[in-house]
Structure 1
Amino acid sequence: MSSRPLPVSVPVVRLPLLALVAALVLAGCSGDVPEASQAAAASSAMAVTTAPVEMRDLARTVLVSGAVAPVEEMQLGVEVSGLRVTELLVDVGQSVRRGQVLLRLDRRMLDSELRQAEAALREAEAGAALARANLARGENLARERYISAGQLDELRAVRTQAEARVGTARAGRDAAALRHSFAELRAPADGIVSKRLVQPGQVVGAGGELLRLIRDGRLEWRAELPVTQLSSVKPGDRIALRGPGGVVVEGRVRAVSPGVDAATRTGTVYADLPDPKGLAAGAYLEGRIDTGRARVATVPAAAVVLRDGFATLYTIATKEGATVAEARRVRTGAREGAHVELLDGPKPGQQVVVKGAGFLADGDAVRVVPATQAAPAAGVAR
């Protein structure tokens, strides 16, 4: 009986095969990871639209605050002293006409002075008439040689002295009449009473201010500008003021001061207000002065957003293969319609974010789409 060797069982090694299969599977999938990551990043990027910085003809304006004041304010008083006010015929805010009586003083003393002056004039005229009559008779007697030539000369001298006294008396009467007229204060021009500094019964002095009158009711707007802005304003430029209740009052620059104040380095702009629309003298209002048009760099107004209190634009950049938004602080100027002047920042032709700018932060991933497809990604505005 032959002996055969027993069969030896050989174990099957399966672990390396599984590891090889797993390695092959992982190796096959590893090529899709970057593409998947990029697709996920692209889907999460915010869709925005852009527009270029453009050169446009834009209205040039100067914004400044100033006071409303009378074009000419007249300080009125009387020319006599020591008289009492008996009638005050106007009050603040009342319109008056040229020659209208504004107040009256107690004129009894002036009446007496005028009567004395008139009596003195009549006395002088009577003396002059007598002197002329005596001279006429003397001339007749001199022709008949009843009086001497020396006596005739004396009569002529008396006549001349009498006529001189008439002139003096007439001047005194005119002065008394003028002083008598000072008992009434009359308006020197049409206007509006802006201030009253006297009361009935008050004893007034010559030259003291009693009333104040805005001549013709004309008001103007006065603004102080630094020399850099003053040079751009000229007579005839249009202004617009925003009054109480949002009422817009328009006017024109009448004059620009030729120099600047040595202390403040500012000059004054004077603008007429043909229709003040209820503005009061002394009101302090912001105004816009239109100084013409100029070709300047502009961006859409929607592209400018506030970040930390500063005007900011977002430009497009590529970093590590991704499209991102870069924040840039800028200075803006005049605004006209949907466009804002850009004083500094991106150059003409450079693209800035318009739609979606309010939702961006510096470095956010974005994808630029046509304007019709732009929609802000889910989230909150920063």
Structure 2
Amino acid sequence: MSLRTTRALLAVSLVFLLAACAGEEAAPASAPALSVSVATPQRQSLPQRIPASGSIAAWEEVVLGVEISGQRVASVDVEVGDVVRKGQPLLQLDTRTLAMELRQAEANLEVAAANARRGERLLREKLVAASDAEQLIAGEVTARAQAENARLRLDFATLRAPHDGIVSARSVQPGQVVAAGAELLRLIRDQRLEWRAELPEAELIRITPGVEVRLQGPDGEPVAGTVRKVSPSLDSRTRTGTVFADLPAPGALRAGMYAEGDLLLGARDVLTVPAAAVVERDGYRYLFVLGEGDVVAQRRVDTGAREGGVVEVRSGLEGGERVVAEGAGFLGDGDRVRVVPAGI
């Protein structure tokens, strides 16, 4: 092969190689951009909800015991879960010793009363000194007080419910010898439960008594309540305070359970975007705002209430921008997009 022919072949090969390289470099420029749909933030009225969580507890749990010591339990008339009425007998002590003490005190009272009458008669007849007669009369007063005390001790042998309620705990068995003041039973007063929700200081100051709450029971049923009081102080370590909400119809909720719910503050006119437009990354929330040349800018925002597929935007938007509503999760700051109608 001649030198001239070889040079011609090399020139042709170089031309084809440059054309191929040019085609490869141009290919990315013609690559299609990500298709997204956009929306304009809208102002609308949204109910303001503050999500919270906390424990379910008895509104008032009464610890019950007897007022006399050294007596044996004859019977326990209730079990855990029993609904009781005010004045209903719950527990009975052995009354044999107490009844005997009462009979002895009443007998002593009869003797003391007779002696006091005799002393009054003798004093009228001036047969005894006034001090002796007064001593007999004082003996009757003492005997009467002792009889009343014995009668009261016998009444204390029956433990009765101080309020309507439901028995929540029992720590006594028949035959047990009990001491005064020892815990024997617990009673949830009026069967009332409350939700004790923990809130940070910024949200606690927005809550006042009377605010409605909505919880979800373990069976999935909603439970309604009302804030009864708000803690006047905060925990110095957690910087949270407690909201106490009455639950008049707790449903399947039980004391000791943990429940999540919302505190309802009423509706406000707010700026909203579609919920799908909000992207959460690294603990922050972002929107992608469409700019010139269909280039998007990632913008950090502060969000609030959610309702019906939209989210409140508290800060980060002015209100006239267009934001990516569908496809935002695949975008990065500065990406070029192709805007298409929603749903395509």
The alpha-carbon deviation at position 355 of structure 1 amounts to 3.5
Indicate the residue corresponding to 1:132 in structure 2.
120
2:219–2:252 contact (8 Å) kept in structure 1:
no
Instruction: Give me the whole-angstrom Cα distance separating, in 2, the residues matched to 1:369 and 1:106.
Output: 86
- The answer to whether structure 1 residue 342 and structure 2 residue 316 are counterparts is no
The alpha-carbon deviation at position 106 of structure 1 amounts to 1.5
TM-aligned CA distance change 1:245 to 1:363, over 3 Å: farther
* TM-score, normalised relative to structure 2: 0.84
- The answer to whether structure 1 residue 263 and structure 2 residue 234 are counterparts is no
Q: Alignment partner for residue 72 of structure 1, among 35, 57, 60?
A: 60
Aligned residues: CA RMSD? 2.6
Indicate the residue corresponding to 1:323 in structure 2.
294
Instruction: Give me the whole-angstrom Cα distance separating, in 2, the residues matched to 1:131 and 1:253.
Output: 67
- The answer to whether structure 1 residue 237 and structure 2 residue 211 are counterparts is yes
Instruction: Give me the whole-angstrom Cα distance separating, in 2, the residues matched to 1:183 and 1:257.
Output: 40
Cα displacement string for residues 78-112 of structure 1 (whole angstroms, at most 9, x for unaligned residues): 11111111101111111111111111112222112
* TM-score, normalised relative to structure 1: 0.76
Matches within 5 A, 1:167-178: 167-178=141-152
Instruction: Give me the whole-angstrom Cα distance separating, in 2, the residues matched to 1:294 and 1:38.
Output: 48
2:37–2:341 contact (8 Å) kept in structure 1:
yes
Bigger Cα Rg: 1
Structure 2 portions without partners, runs of 5+: 1-22
Indicate the residue corresponding to 2:165 in structure 1.
191
Cα displacement string for residues 246-297 of structure 1 (whole angstroms, at most 9, x for unaligned residues): 2211100000112223333222110000100021101011121112333433
- Structure 1 range deviating more: 340-349 or 114-123: 340-349
- The answer to whether structure 1 residue 218 and structure 2 residue 192 are counterparts is yes
- The answer to whether structure 1 residue 367 and structure 2 residue 338 are counterparts is yes
Q: Alignment partner for residue 48 of structure 1, among 31, 36, 44?
A: 36
One-letter amino acid of the counterpart of residue 117, structure 1: A
Matches within 5 A, 1:274-313: 274-306=248-280, 311-313=285-287
Instruction: Give me the whole-angstrom Cα distance separating, in 2, the residues matched to 1:236 and 1:328.
Output: 38
Indicate the residue corresponding to 1:352 in structure 2.
323
- Aligned residue for 1:246, secondary structure, equals coil
Indicate the residue corresponding to 2:19 in structure 1.
none
1:311–1:329 contact (8 Å) kept in structure 2:
yes
Instruction: Give me the whole-angstrom Cα distance separating, in 1, the residues matched to 2:93 and 2:35.
Output: 83
- Aligned residue for 1:244, secondary structure, equals coil
Instruction: Give me the whole-angstrom Cα distance separating, in 2, the residues matched to 1:323 and 1:308.
Output: 26
2:56–2:259 contact (8 Å) kept in structure 1:
yes
Identity %: 53
- Aligned residue for 1:207, secondary structure, equals coil
Structure 1 portions without partners, runs of 5+: 1-32, 139-150, 376-382
